[in-house]
Amino acid sequence: MVSNLAPPPDRARLVRKVIWIVLAAVVVAGVAWYAALTVGKSQESAPPAAGAEQLVRGDSHRLTSPAVEKAQLVEFLDFECPFCGSIHPVVEEFKAEFGDRITFVHRHFPLSAHPNSGQAALAAEAAGQQGKYQQMANKLFETQSQWAGNQQSQAPLFRTYAKQLGLDLSQFDAVVADPKTEERILADIADGTALGVTGTPTFFLNGEKLTLSTKADFRQKLADALK
């Protein structure tokens, strides 16, 4: 007598059902594992999104104050950077043309390759404490060829600029020496780094980093932002 090794019909259906459930669980687990792995890799490779507050802080230098702001142009700059110096007259031209509708903003991003860029930023900040940030910024760019690249500290020269601008020199000296002034500049650098700034000048128009080719292209992007 041969033993019947086949399970009864009800038991066979149960076995098949269990097998399908196990297979389905394996498939679902595999899909979940793949999704988690993919998302994990995506999160590891993608840089964290920068908040809008990193573009413009409450104490950022706003060069224009339109009655109705239609766009915002943020520039991360280095006063010793030759490219910043060469584009400064263009920015000034556009500021005059679009400043009634676009808020132009300066953020500091002094580069370690420029020995006096930090001192220049300190001088601009100290002038800003007396309401003359723009005047000092303009002076630094206009005279850039006279001091940029000099390995000796140009702080005494920047102090003569402060005197020419009619600043209170005691107050100017105090602000330059105040650690909080350096911290203010370092905060700008931190924001720029978080936003992906690696060189200067770097412009953001309404939060979007600009890639510029010509002056006409720059003007067109500003005009398009107002439409």
Complete DSSP assignment for 177-191: H-HHHHHHHHHHHHH
| Nearest Cα to Cα of residue 61 among 79, 82, 86, 42 | 79
C-beta pairs of 171-176 under 8 Å, 24+ apart in sequence:
171/126, 171/129, 171/130, 172/123, 172/126, 172/127, 172/129, 172/130, 173/126, 175/122, 175/125, 175/126, 175/129, 176/122, 176/123, 176/125, 176/126
DSSP 151: S
DSSP assigned state of 54 = G
Tokens coding 119? 């001192």
pLDDT of residue 53: 83
Residues lower than pLDDT 50 in the chain = 1-50
H helices present in the chain, as ranges: 9-45, 82-98, 117-128, 133-142, 144-147, 155-164, 169-177, 179-194, 215-225
Characterize 61-73 residue by residue with b for buried, 16 or more Cβ atoms within 10 angstroms of its Cβ, and e for exposed.
Answer: bbbbebeeeebbb
Query: Token pair 């900040």 is at which residue?
Result: 125
Residues facing 74 on adjacent strands: 105, 204
Across the beta sheet with 102-108, what order do the strands follow? 61-62, 102-108, 71-77, 202-205, 208-209
DSSP conformation class of 48: P
**β-pair type (61-62, 71-77):** unpaired
pTM beyond 0.85, yes or no: no
